[in-house]
Every structure is written in C-alpha cells, then in structure tokens.
C-alpha cells in the first residue's frame, strides 16, 4: 500500500481539489438528493414518527460514518478510482466491478427521473397548471379536477349535523362521478397519462415520449458541460447546486408551516410511537434509508476521495457529511408534511390518504398540495427546481465515477489523446442517453398506479413468457 501511495502521489496527472472544502461540498451535493425528499419523510411517517429517528441516527453513527470513512480513506490513500483502490486487496476486487455495474444502471435510469422532474418544472410556468383541471387532451371521463375535489369536500363539511366519519364517507361518494365509476384526480391523470402515457401492457413499448426524450437529452448535455473539464469546473458548480436547493427547501418549509392545517401534518410526521422500536423492520428500514441516501457501496465516494490531497482531514468531512445529510432529510420532512397536512385539512382527508412514498409523493401528492397555495405556479417552480438541482449533481458524480472506473479498467483510454477524457465523455453520455430512451417509452410500470387506473383503462401487468426471456438475455 505504501508503494502504491508513493507512486500515485507522484503522478501529476491526477486531479486534486482546489480547496479543502471542495470535497465536502461535492459530497454534500451528491448525497443530498431525491431520496431525502421522497423517501425519508414517508419512512418517518410509516415507522413511528419521531421514534424512527432513534434507529436512523444510530445507523448513521454506527454504520454510515465507519463505512464512509473506509471508502474515502481508500480512495484518498491510493489516489485512483475504485478499480485501483480495491486492487490493493485482490480478494475484494470483485466489489469494484459490482460498484461499476451499479453505477452503470444508475446512469441509465436516474436521468429519466430528472426528465420527469424537468417536465413538471417546465409545466409549472403555465398560466394554468395542467394537473389542476380535466380539460386536457389526456384526461378521461373519470377525471375529477383538484378544484372539484376541494369544492365537494367543502360542501361536505358544511353539513354540521354529520360526524367526521360520515362526512369523510360522504366525501368519497361526492368525488365519484357515479356509483359505478371510480374517479381519479386530475393530478394523478396528468402523471399517468400526460407525463408517462402508460401503455396497457408492460411489454407493449408504444412510442417514445418526445418531450421526455428532449428533456433527457438536455440533462445529458448539461451534465457533459459540467464535468468535461474535470473537478476544477464541476466543484464550482457543485457549490451552487448543493446550497441553492437547501435555501429553496427552507423557503418552502417556512411557507408550509404558515398554512392552515400544517400542524396536522407535522404531528403525524413527528408523533413518536415508541412501540414501533420493538419491530425489527423499523431498524432494517432505518439502516436501508441511511445506505440509500448516502449511496454507501456505490464507490462514488472512493472516486471523490481520490481527488483529495494525501493528508486531507477526511474524518472531519465524512462526519459532517453524514450529519448534513441527516439534517437535510429532517428538513425535507417538515416541508413535505406541513404542506400535505394543509391539503388534508382543506379536503377533509386523513394523512394516510394524502401521504405516499417515491414518485407518488413528488409527482402526485405534493404538486396537488401546492396547487391550493396562493401563486401555485411560483411554488411549483421552486419545488421542482429544487428537485432538479438535487438530482443533477448526484448524476454528475455518478458519471464522473463511472468515467474514472472505465479509465482504470482501460488505461489506454486516458492516454491515447490529450483530449481523451472529453472525447470519452461524449460517447459515454450519448450512450447513456440512448439507453435511457427505453425508459421514456410508454411501457413504464408505475408501482403507485391506483386501482381506479387499472379498472378504467383495463390495464394488466401479466407478461408474456417471451418477455421474461428478453429480460434474462439483457441481464446476462
């Protein structure tokens, strides 16, 4: 290890962060992403509220910090990517290749999520938000506009002689077009039909969604110009993409806390249910969230650490990184649940009915909640701009790590031309963009599709036997 360290320390070709804070800011920008917004708040809500913070913080201290320290120290010592780092321990070299495969899959799928966010971001500039009403070309006869939902809910609450449960049951009846039909909100129809355009069967590709393909290409073009000059340029951009989203999220949090009914959401978010700590699934969920949020095991922090100077104080940065990520997750929970609590109050619904995880939260529930605020276009722009910035720097780090991974496997790619890195990134980004086009087709399975969608559109997810053969061949 000492010989390897000296060799790479004397290698002037290896880039180094300009300032000691560059590594920390780049790591914060990478780790704070969509998982902090669309997964952590729901995990708190599901697994005991404030009680969930106990296993979560223990996982940060006992699991995350030691493993992050291992990854960063390994990259900083060897000053190379994941392949050369794990080559120091030949028995574990397979971990490096597994990390490379993980980065490959993330670089194919993650930008598609950003393309969805881009679609919502652009749509937020409309004078009339497309997910507010049912007069769009993609809407079905079962659509109920958001204003219709609120109006019927307000009418139901005016019946003072009814109990809460009776009003709640009446609400469900009022927002249904008829006793035989099952309604779907305009926000959900915009997501399923206006954005994804989901086909009837998974193996039925349909056509490529041209708008999503365009946004996907723009994301890859912006990503290229962010990292093509190396960490000298990307580090400066990460200062912006790491700090601005936090500022925007603080603004959304403050605005959400001033809404009527916000306390209801915050109560459900933080109300501690200590009995949940007896459930082993809570502890597993907490550890999973920590690994998911910090991307432990993907070798990206090995790559970022390899750009540090040999004597850089990485222990300080790793500790700050772990707790900064936790604080950001906690803040995002306040922003999400205060707004959802206000929507539940206005529509006389329970928190369980308005709270979802994953794509259902950021693409259906939260835009629907922001629609009822004054100046909804402004708040939707702020929210989706925050998501774009959070996801963009995460993508850039994954691409940078994959680039370093490939050049470690094939060193000739690094040396065949003075612009070899720039040329390789062109083909790399173009390849990932083309592979991602398969995810912009209409054959997208959304796990948050409601039962009403399946009944109204006669959707089935039973696959033909040949489809499994294609998947198996692709996996090989």
- Residues 69/320, Cβ–Cβ less than 8 Å: no
Among candidate residues 18, 95, 20, 41, the one with its CA nearest the CA of residue 365: 41
Mind listing the pLDDT tens digit for each residue in 250-264? 998 998 888 888 898
Distance CA 221, CA 119 (A): 16
> Can you give the pLDDT at residue 460?
46
pLDDT winner (highest mean) among 227-231, 354-358, 398-402: 398-402
Which of 24-38, 134-148, 358-372, 375-389 is predicted with the least confidence, judged by mean pLDDT?
Answer: 134-148
pLDDT winner (highest mean) among 46-60, 171-185, 440-454: 46-60
Which of 123-127, 213-217, 302-306, 346-350 is predicted with the least confidence, judged by mean pLDDT?
Answer: 346-350
Number of structural domains (the chain) is: 1
Among candidate residues 184, 179, 180, the one with its CA nearest the CA of residue 141: 184
Whether the predicted pLDDT of 169 surpasses 70? no
> Can you give the pLDDT at residue 188?
87
Range of the domain at 286: 2-6+15-475
- Residues 8/79, Cβ–Cβ less than 8 Å: yes
Tokens encoding 79: 């000053």
> What mean pLDDT value characterizes the chain?
80
- Residues 449/193, Cβ–Cβ less than 8 Å: no
Whether the predicted pLDDT of 218 surpasses 90? yes
Q: Is the dihedral of CA 461, 466, 472, 476 positive or negative?
A: negative
Residues 55-77 have a mean pLDDT of: 93
Those residues whose C-beta lies under 8 Å from the C-beta of residue 122, and which sit 6 or more positions away, are 215
Distances in whole angstroms, Cα of residue 223 to Cα of each of 204, 229, 238, 394, 401 = 31, 11, 12, 10, 13
Whether the predicted pLDDT of 5 surpasses 70? no
Distance CA 378, CA 373 (A): 10
> Can you give the pLDDT at residue 95?
87
Mind listing the pLDDT tens digit for each residue in 139-155? 888 888 876 555 555 54
Burial class (CB in 10 A: 0-12, 13-18, 19+), 275: exposed
Distance CA 215, CA 225 (A): 16
Mind listing the pLDDT tens digit for each residue in 287-302? 999 998 998 888 889 9
- Residues 397/371, Cβ–Cβ less than 8 Å: no
Q: Residue 232, Cβ neighbours under 10 Å: how many?
A: 12
- Residues 252/443, Cβ–Cβ less than 8 Å: no
Q: What are the φ/ψ torsions at residue 143 (nearest 5 degrees)?
A: -70, 140
Task: Tell me the CB-side half-sphere exposure of residue 32, using CA atoms within 13 A.
Answer: 32
Whether the predicted pLDDT of 156 surpasses 90? no
Which of 42-51, 158-167, 207-216, 396-405 is predicted with the least confidence, judged by mean pLDDT?
Answer: 158-167
Please list the residues that pair with 460 across neighbouring strands.
Answer: none
Q: What are the φ/ψ torsions at residue 21 (nearest 5 degrees)?
A: -80, -10
Among candidate residues 234, 245, 243, the one with its CA nearest the CA of residue 399: 234
């Amino acid at each position: 290890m000492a010989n390897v360290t000296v060799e790479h320390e004397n290698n002037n070709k290896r880039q180094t962060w300009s300032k000691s804070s560059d590594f920390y800011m780049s790591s914060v920008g990478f780790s704070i992403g969509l998982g902090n917004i669309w997964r952590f708040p729901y995990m708190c809500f599901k697994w005991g509220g404030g009680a969930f913070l106990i296993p979560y913080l223990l996982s940060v201290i006992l699991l995350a910090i030691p493993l992050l320290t291992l990854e960063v120290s390994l990259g900083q010592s060897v000053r190379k990517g994941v392949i050369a780092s794990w080559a120091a321990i030949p028995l574990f070299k397979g971990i490096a290749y597994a990390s490379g495969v993980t980065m490959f899959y993330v670089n194919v799928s993650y930008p598609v999520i950003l393309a969805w966010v881009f679609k919502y971001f652009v749509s937020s500039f409309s004078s009339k938000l497309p997910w507010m009403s049912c007069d769009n070309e993609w809407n079905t006869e079962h659509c109920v506009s958001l204003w219709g939902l609120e109006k019927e809910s307000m009418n139901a609450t005016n019946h003072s002689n009814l109990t809460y449960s009776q009003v709640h049951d009446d609400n469900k009846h009022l927002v249904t077009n008829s006793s035989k039909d099952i309604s779907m909100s305009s926000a959900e129809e915009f997501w399923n039909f206006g954005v994804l355009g989901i086909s009837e069967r998974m193996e039925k590709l349909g056509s490529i969604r041209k708008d999503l393909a365009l946004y996907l290409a723009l994301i890859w073009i912006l990503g290229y110009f962010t990292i093509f000059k190396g960490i000298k340029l990307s580090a400066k951009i990460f200062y912006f993409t790491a700090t601005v989203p936090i500022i925007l999220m603080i603004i959304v949090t403050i605005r959400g806390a001033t809404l009527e009914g916000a306390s209801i959401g915050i109560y459900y978010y933080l109300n501690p249910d200590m009995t949940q700590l007896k459930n082993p699934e809570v502890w597993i969920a907490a550890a999973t969230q920590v690994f998911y949020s910090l991307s432990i095991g993907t070798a990206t922090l090995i790559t970022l650490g390899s750009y540090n100077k040999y004597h850089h104080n990485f222990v300080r940065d790793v500790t700050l990184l772990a707790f900064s990520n936790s604080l950001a997750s906690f803040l995002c929970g306040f922003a999400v649940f205060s707004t959802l609590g206000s929507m539940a109050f206005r529509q006389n619904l329970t928190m369980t009915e308005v709270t979802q995880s994953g794509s259902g939260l950021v693409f259906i529930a939260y835009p629907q909640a922001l629609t009822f605020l004054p100046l909804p276009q402004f708040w939707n722009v702020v929210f989706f701009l925050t998501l774009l910035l959070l996801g963009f720097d995460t993508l850039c780090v994954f691409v940078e790590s994959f680039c370093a991974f490939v050049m470690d496997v094939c060193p000739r790619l690094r040396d065949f031309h003075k612009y070899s890195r720039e040329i390789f990134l062109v083909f790399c980004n173009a390849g990932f963009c083309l592979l991602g086009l398969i995810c912009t087709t209409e054959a997208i399975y959304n796990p948050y599709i409601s039962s009403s969608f399946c009944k109204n559109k006669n959707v089935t997810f039973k696959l033909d036997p040949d489809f499994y053969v294609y998947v198996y061949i692709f996996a090989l």
